[in-house]
Structure 1
Amino acid sequence: MAAAWKTRPRLAMAIVYRPIDPQDPAEVHTFTLFCENSGRDSNEGHIPDSDDERRKKSGEIITQLTRDASKHHCLAAFDDGSMVGVIRLHMMTIDKLPACHIRALWVHPDHRGRGVATKLKELAETWARAMGSAFMDTNVRVANERMIALNTRMGYEVARLNFRKRLD
């Protein structure tokens, strides 16, 4: 009977949203792993990064955030101090207009359906507006119905289609 408490749902702490700290290598590493998961979640054929690739990507994030924070922004959601969701943004020019591209968005499965992705996207839009972006741009795999539905609810529209043909 003493173990019964383990089966009860944990009361959710207030989710805290904030930029990741480029001075905290462990936080950047976790952020990098979560970004990698954004590809894994939507593609069954995803090949995981090697430890060397993860270190390189973490280093790139640190460099981007410390050199030019007006072009790169990395937000995370934390529940009780643990990272539970991420969004990685990159300002660029698309169709000759300033645009904010969402490079990665991922929420831990235990926290899905709680509005974490929506809040991360809302915060991303606020940052993009402040940076002078004309629009947000994101890519979603055709099989990722939940993310397609979220984008549609938030007012995103299809701007172009990406076609792929396997050559093997």
Structure 2
Amino acid sequence: MFTDLRMQYECLTCDRVSMTDITVRPLGEDDWADYRSVRLAALRESPEAFVATVEEEEAYDEAFWRARMQRSARLVAEREGKAVGVVSVGTAKTNDVPAGELFGLWVHPEARGSGVATRLVQNGASLAAKRGQTHLVYWVGTENGRAVAFASGMGFRPTDYRRPMGVVSEEDGEEEVAMVLPLGSEVDPALRL
């Protein structure tokens, strides 16, 4: 019986990706087409998670995509040269505290649960720390228990800050909560969003 259970477990995990098989790389302005490709894939697969639509973004020209690459850092997760996830890291709007903002996190459905999101967030936090940012802000739907649990497991802590959702869904609810990850220290009480 033990052998049967072990074989069943191995079959469940045989298609899983180990975290060592995942590479994360920053995308520069010249990588705009790579970012466009993974962004459009995210919009097609999870349209309810984004304010923009795939039709809108497909129509944008190269100049638009190049400008977008300059506004925030873009990180892509790859397995065997194929994009399996993406995240963006910008600058949070805070008072007096240098903080980054994590947004646009998406993982291809076949790679979910395999460590891709973890690697993207770790790399995003590392990038923010290298920029001298002391905190990383991540807005999460208050009703999205899975996303709140993931962020909490990564060390993010909920704050009292809320805002209306850009896209209202049953899974996320109608508002988002700012979750904050201190980068090397405790959450600064002066952090005001």
Residue 147 of structure 1 and its aligned partner are, at CA, apart by: 1.5
Stretches of structure 2 lacking an aligned partner (at least 5 in a row): 1-13, 169-173, 175-193
Match of 1:161 in 2: 162
Q: Is structure 2 residue 49 aligned with structure 1 residue 48?
A: no
CA displacement 1:42-76 (0-9 Å, x = unmatched): 47xx67332x434438744422445xxxx621101
Q: How many residues align?
A: 152
CA contact (8 A) 1:35 1:88 kept: no
Pairwise CA RMSD: 3.2
| Equivalences for residues 105-144 of structure 1 within 5 A | 105-144=105-144
Q: Deviations over 1:80-132 (max 9, x none)?
A: 11100001111244132211111210101110111110111011111000111
Long gaps (5+) in structure 1:
1-8
C-alpha distance in 1 between matches for 2:22 and 2:67:
27
Which residue number corresponds to residue 85 of structure 1? 85
Cα gap change, 1:61/1:135 in structure 2, threshold over 3 Å: closer, same or farther?
farther
The TM-score with structure 2 as length reference comes to 0.65
**Alpha-carbon distance in 1 for matches of 2:16, 2:162:** 42
Q: Which digits, 9 at most, give the CA deviation of each residue in 1:11-61, with x for residues without a partner?
A: 748212101243244312113225536963547xx67332x4344387444
- In structure 1, the partner of 2:72 is 72
- Partners of 2:53 and 2:127 lie apart in 1 by 30
Query: Structure 1 length as normaliser, TM-score?
Result: 0.73
